[in-house]
Structure 1
Amino acid sequence: MRRIVLPLLVALFPFAATAEEPFVANAVDVTEWKAVFGRIEARDRVQARSRLGGTIISIDVSEGSTVEKGQQIASITDEKLTLQLNAVDATLTSLESQLDTASADLKRGEDLLERGVATAQQLDQLRTRVDVIKGQIGTAQAERSVLEQREAEGAVLAPIGGAVLQVPLTEGSVVMPGESIAEIGGGGFFLRLAVPERHANYLEEGAEIRIGGDEGETTGVLAKLYPQIENGRVIVDVEFAGMETDFVDARVLVRLPVGKSTTLLVPEGTVSTRMGLDFVTVQSADGAKSQRSVVTGGAHQMDGVEMIEILSGLTAGEQVVTSHE
């Protein structure tokens, strides 16, 4: 009966007859991660400035508003321009009246010249007077166009499309040409970090970055590494999918790769804990097994397998097997 049942069990459950393969503890290079905080920033932060000095009569946006490029966000008026336009209009009315009179005089001069009453010199004087008045009208019209253009520059336009970050002024404020009316952030968003300069040599563009969040860690890419060091820190830009852009300058926890260290790792299942001490089961070359106390470090993940760092109590090349508590 034993000869019949034993082969049958082996055929049905081959793993029961297979000896457990030991794990050879080897020293591997492990990436060291540094936790820092980054800020979500707009790629472009541009000031919408006034082109005309005067008084703000309306502001059509507030912090958080979304604008398109070229959209009017405020209006500025200069009362002196209205007075100048009125003066130019009065000058044009006077010149047009003078032109009508001079044209009538020229017409009569041409009739008198045909009848031999007037001279050609008098007719030339009348024609010159008409040309001079026409030139003055052209000058006044050009001056009016300049004033109209300056008045149109009272419309403050959004230089880029995006979100309004700041509106430092209110309606009724007096502004000078070039003064900022609003700050607009656009061109997309990214995560900006300030990393201590001692880690600069370990950073490289395209490296994988770990970003912490309420729903767990996600990964991003180190998109840009700025060469200039400011106040002992290197500026780094990180991009990742699913970035929350509701609040600009929001802080996000990020883990950066800042170096590598040689570490002895064993699978998590080979470590057991009893009475506050950690043990591993070591298998010798002749197959004998023994328990050994070890000091463990942090947890790591390699190829989807949870690994435990061994600080002391085990050397590279030794074989460990899964612990059975």
Structure 2
Amino acid sequence: MITALFLAFLQAGTAETYVVEPRVVTDEKAVFATVESVDVVSARARIGGVVGELRVDEGDAVEAGDIIAIVVDDRLGPQIGAVNSTAAALSAQLDQARSDLTRAQDLFDRGIFAQARLDEAQTAVDVLENQLASARQERAVIVQQSREGNVLAPTAGRVLDVPVTAGSVVLPGEMIASVASDLYVLRLMLPERHARSISEGDSIRVDGSDLTGDVAPTGFIRQVYPRIQDGRVMADALVDGLGDFFVGERVRVLVAVDSRETIFIPDTFVDTRYGVDYVQIQGESENTYDVVIQRGEVRGSEIEILSGLSTGDILVQP
């Protein structure tokens, strides 16, 4: 009997204890975010005409400056031909005028040709040279217009939409394709009551069950938009590895929205009997007594205590 009491005393004396202290914790709100590109830009036709060749389709990756499509304007070919003919005629006239100027200069040097006739011949040469230069510039303008039929990718990224097909008639400025830039973000929509509690640089957690590939489990807020629409504030978060996701795909994320002071204790100090949670508290004379508690959130191996404990209480592991 004495040996049993002595062993019980030793076991009680070596029981593990825990001092209750409040802790500041961060509350997280679960929201669904969509994978979006920071910039979605349109590749537009610079001239009107017919789409003669379409080189991309939805989902294709492009680099800035790649030719997406070729728009052909059938009117530019005849215009170039007409300007070429005009330039050829002016060139022939200029050759004749230069020959006339050479003869007039020879006659003038021998004193049998008037100065006024020589000036007229020089003027005719100058006029034809300027007309020929103007025709060549006009041809360069039309050739440049034909080159503008090449629709170029405005940025590197992925093609999201191609609303035209080969043979479609397009007008100047009409969209040929929309391209999403390579920088992808998670776009969050939070209730407006959280607008003041989030800021740039705040961390977020991505739900592990939604991860695919090499997507990082955490990220941070890149930008908070200064506009509340339909009772929600929009923010963008950067997470590494979003390139393999579909644009518009929904992902569950946890965002820190508030902080509060509460009590957490190790779950080994909680004893559940008949559906009721108890903890043992050490009194002033080192005797222990049970107290009923109300548990809250579970974080790892710790349990939040909503009621039943106060700061400074000494818990004894049951």
Contact 1:189-1:245 at 8 Å conserved across structures = no
Residues 229-278 of structure 1 show CA distances to partners (whole Å, capped at 9, x for unaligned) of 22221111112233354311211111111112332322111113233232
Show the counterpart of 1:267.
266
| Percent identity of paired positions between Structure 1 and Structure 2 | 41
Contact 2:16-2:317 at 8 Å conserved across structures = no
Aligned pair partner of 1:314 in 306, 309, 312: 309
Q: Do residues 156 (structure 1) and 155 (structure 2) align?
A: no
5+ residue gaps, structure 2: 1-9
SS of the equivalent of 1:129 reads helix
**TM-aligned CA distance change 1:179 to 1:61, over 3 Å:** same
Superposed counterparts of 1:274-285, under 5 Å: 274-285=273-284
Distance 2:275 2:41 in 1: 59
Residues 154-212 of structure 1 show CA distances to partners (whole Å, capped at 9, x for unaligned) of 11111111111211111111222222111111151111111111011211222221111
Q: Do residues 174 (structure 1) and 169 (structure 2) align?
A: yes
Show the counterpart of 2:130.
135
Aligned pair partner of 1:19 in 11, 14, 37: 14
Distance 1:201 1:270 in 2: 37
Show the counterpart of 1:203.
198
SS of the equivalent of 1:317 reads coil
Contact 2:39-2:180 at 8 Å conserved across structures = yes
Distance 2:161 2:279 in 1: 60
The more displaced of 154-163 and 183-192 is 183-192
Contact 2:265-2:303 at 8 Å conserved across structures = yes
Show the counterpart of 1:299.
298
C-alpha RMSD over aligned residues: 2.3
TM-score by length of 1: 0.86
**TM-aligned CA distance change 1:54 to 1:45, over 3 Å:** same
Show the counterpart of 2:234.
235
Aligned pair partner of 2:56 in 54, 58, 61: 61
Superposed counterparts of 1:218-257, under 5 Å: 218-257=217-256
Distance 1:282 1:138 in 2: 102
Deviation at 1:219, TM superposition (A): 2.1
Deviation at 1:316, TM superposition (A): 3.5
5+ residue gaps, structure 1: 1-14
Deviation at 1:60, TM superposition (A): 1.0
Show the counterpart of 1:3.
none
Whichever residue aligns with residue 249 of structure 2, its letter is: A
Show the counterpart of 1:8.
none
Q: Do residues 119 (structure 1) and 118 (structure 2) align?
A: no
SS of the equivalent of 1:109 reads helix
Distance 2:250 2:243 in 1: 11
Contact 1:196-1:234 at 8 Å conserved across structures = yes
Show the counterpart of 2:140.
145
Show the counterpart of 1:4.
none
SS of the equivalent of 1:225 reads strand
Distance 2:254 2:43 in 1: 36
Whichever residue aligns with residue 86 of structure 1, its letter is: G
Distance 2:152 2:226 in 1: 34
How many pairs align?
305
Deviation at 1:19, TM superposition (A): 1.8
Deviation at 1:18, TM superposition (A): 7.0
SS of the equivalent of 1:214 reads helix
SS of the equivalent of 1:61 reads coil
Whichever residue aligns with residue 85 of structure 1, its letter is: I
Q: Do residues 258 (structure 1) and 219 (structure 2) align?
A: no
SS of the equivalent of 1:201 reads coil
The more displaced of 309-318 and 256-265 is 309-318
SS of the equivalent of 2:172 reads coil
SS of the equivalent of 1:46 reads strand
**TM-aligned CA distance change 1:130 to 1:244, over 3 Å:** closer
SS of the equivalent of 2:196 reads helix
Whichever residue aligns with residue 72 of structure 1, its letter is: I
SS of the equivalent of 2:265 reads strand
Deviation at 1:215, TM superposition (A): 7.4
SS of the equivalent of 2:205 reads strand
Whichever residue aligns with residue 87 of structure 2, its letter is: L
Deviation at 1:286, TM superposition (A): 1.7
Distance 1:190 1:81 in 2: 44
Q: Do residues 95 (structure 1) and 93 (structure 2) align?
A: no
Q: Give every structure 1 segment of 4 or more consecutive aligned residues whose post-TM-superposition deviation is greater than 6 Å.
A: 15-18
Contact 1:109-1:126 at 8 Å conserved across structures = yes
Distance 1:213 1:67 in 2: 31
Distance 1:159 1:199 in 2: 36
